[in-house]
C-alpha cells in the first residue's frame, strides 16, 4: 500500500526555473526520504529528513517537513535539463515491530532546455 502521495504527478518547466514537488502521507513517521529515478534505472537517494527536523538543504535541493500536516516538499532551484527524472518520496514508519520504507508513486519532472 502507498503511504506517501506525490503531487503533482507530472511537472514540466523550463531550465533555470524552480521545481516544487509535494508529498502527503497518512501515519506517523520516523523519517522521510526523497529519491530520484532516471527512466528505467535504479533509484538514487537525495535527502533524508527526520521527524524532528523541519527543513534540510543539500546543494540545490531544499526539503521541508510539516508533521502536523503530514506533508513534505522538495524544491529544486535553478533546474537543469539533467534534473529530468522521476522523484519519489518515501516514508519510514514502524509497522508491527519493524520499520518499513514505503514509496509514493512519484512525480515525473521534465526540464526543457
- Alpha-carbon distance of 40 to 73, in angstroms, equals 24
C-alpha cell at position 78: 535553478
The residues in 19-38 that bind another protein, with binding defined as CB under 8 A, are 30-31, 33, 35
**Stretch near another protein under the rule CB under 8 A, chosen from 9-17, 18-26, 76-84, 104-112:** 104-112
Among 11, 21, 25, 88, indicate the residue that binds another protein (CB under 8 A): 88
What is the nearest approach in angstroms of another protein to the Cβ of residue 19?
20
Q: Which is nearer to another protein, 60 or 103 (CB)?
A: 103
CA 48 to chain centre: 9
Check binding of 102 to another protein (CB under 8 A). yes
Compute the Cα dihedral for 7, 32, 87, 20 and give only its sign: positive
Say whether residue 95 binds another protein (CB under 8 A).
yes
Residue 92 near residue 100 (C-beta atoms within 8 A):
yes
What are the grid coordinates assigned to 33, written together? 526520504
Amino acid at each position: 500500500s502507498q503511504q506517501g502521495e506525490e503531487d503533482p504527478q507530472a511537472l514540466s518547466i523550463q531550465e533555470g526555473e524552480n521545481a516544487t514537488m509535494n508529498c502527503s502521507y497518512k501515519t506517523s513517521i520516523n523519517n522521510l526520504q526523497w529519491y530520484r529515478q532516471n527512466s528505467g534505472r535504479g533509484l538514487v537517494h537525495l535527502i533524508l529528513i527526520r521527524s524532528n527536523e523541519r527543513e534540510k538543504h543539500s546543494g540545490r535541493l531544499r526539503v521541508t517537513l510539516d508533521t502536523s500536516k503530514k506533508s513534505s516538499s522538495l524544491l529544486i532551484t535553478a533546474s537543469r535539463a539533467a534534473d529530468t527524472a522521476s522523484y519519489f518520496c518515501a516514508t519510514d514508519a514502524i509497522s508491527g515491530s519493524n520499520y518499513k520504507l514505503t514509496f509514493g508513486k512519484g512525480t515525473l519532472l521534465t526540464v526543457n532546455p
